[in-house]
Structure 1
Amino acid sequence: MPAKHRSVTEVVMKRLYFLTEEMNHAEHISTELSANGIDAHHIHVLSKNEAGVVTHHLQGPNLFERVDFIRGALQGLVVGLLIGIATLFAGRLFFELDFTVVGQLATLGLMMLFGTWLGGLIGFTQENRHLRRFHAQIDQGKHLIMVDVKASEERRVHRIIEHLNEAQFSGEDVHVLI
């Protein structure tokens, strides 16, 4: 059976951001998008009123979407690799240490693991960089609707939300591969 080949536009999703003043509007938009074929798992609402998100039967973003854990872990991995290389170089240059291949790989691996762990911890303390730009509006009581769409669904989402006239388009990001 031949493998199905997907084009990049079928795989890459965008995250569309819309701001609304009312939680009822967020619920209405979510209902309309779901009724028009957008998977409810691809619609998230971020609000200062987290209880309202739940009582209006909306999905909030998960922890990994709220914080910069993954970005921090990846940055820590790279920093750990660089520190590992610097450690090996300094050991050889200044202390005339001669590491075996296993010793070199172990040093790099340990530094990369430590960097990833530390970077992840730091990332957990930081707001997601994609959401940071909406921080002030959310603090003022607005609600951020995030819709993950394939390229083929993007126009439909814009048409539905523009027709409802309950939220304003506030940006987009290339988001995830599915």
Structure 2
Amino acid sequence: MKRLYYLTDSMALASQVSRQLQHTPGIANWRFHALAKDEAGLYSHQLQGASPLQRCDILRGTERGGLLGLMIGAAFVLLASRVIDFSGSWGVFAMVALIVSATLFGAWEGGMLGLSRENYKIRRFHNALEAGAILLMVDVRKVDEGRIRNLLSHIPIRPMGEGSSVVNPFAYVSA
């Protein structure tokens, strides 16, 4: 699914976009989110705010931490197998348990770190959000994209590009 990004400085315009999209076939209410420094303003204008998964880098951090934990656990088991005899069913269980434990710990730690970081997909809008702008994120299916873009082109909001709604743990983001 593709995510379209728009910026506006007006809570009223953001509300207008929300009302337009609510009456548009192909756009469910959970596919439109707004992100602003003024979260109380989003609430008072009945705009669906971005979830913590969209605001923070939780998912990406969890994925990266899990992969790192998997690699560390596998390396540890590989090194330990040179010293410890892991033959037999208990040995295999111990190796798997070590790898799984390292993977889960890495995922947990990565998620905690991701919770403290801004989502890599919205990092480019940081300065605008700090200045009081409202970021509108609309998730669209490919078949609905043209119709949604056309609908939003009649509202004075700034299109800011597009991206994917899928989290990529390997995505490079310049600072």
- Taking structure 1 as the reference length, the TM-score comes to 0.86
Does 2:17 correspond to 1:26? no
In the alignment, the residues of structure 2 paired with residue 168 and residue 33 of structure 1 have an alpha-carbon distance, to the nearest angstrom, of 16
Other-structure match for 2:159: 169
Separation (CA, whole Å) in 2 of partners of 1:20 and 1:42 = 18
- The residue correspondences of 1:1-178 to structure 2 (distance < 5 A) are 13-37=1-25, 38-93=27-82, 96-99=83-86, 100-164=91-155, 166-176=156-166
Taking the aligned partners of 1:88 and 1:147, their CA distance within structure 2 comes to: 45
Residue 14 of structure 1: CA displacement?
0.9
Which aligned runs of 4 or more in structure 1 are off by greater than 3 angstroms?
Answer: none
The offset of 1:40, in angstroms, is 2.3
For residue 49 of structure 1, report the CA deviation from its aligned partner: 1.0
For structure 1, which runs of at least 5 residues remain unmatched after alignment? Answer: 1-12
- What is the number of equivalent residue pairs in this alignment? 162
Cα deviation per residue 1:29-67 (whole Å; 9 max; x = unaligned)?
A: 111122222222211110111111011110001111111
SS at match of 1:145: strand
Measure the CA separation in 2 of the matches of 1:86 and 1:39.
Answer: 45
How many angstroms apart in 2 are the aligned matches of 1:66 and 1:142?
A: 15
In the TM superposition, residue 19 of structure 1 has moved relative to its aligned partner by 0.5
Percent of pairs with identical residues? 38
**One-letter amino acid of the counterpart of residue 92, structure 2:** V
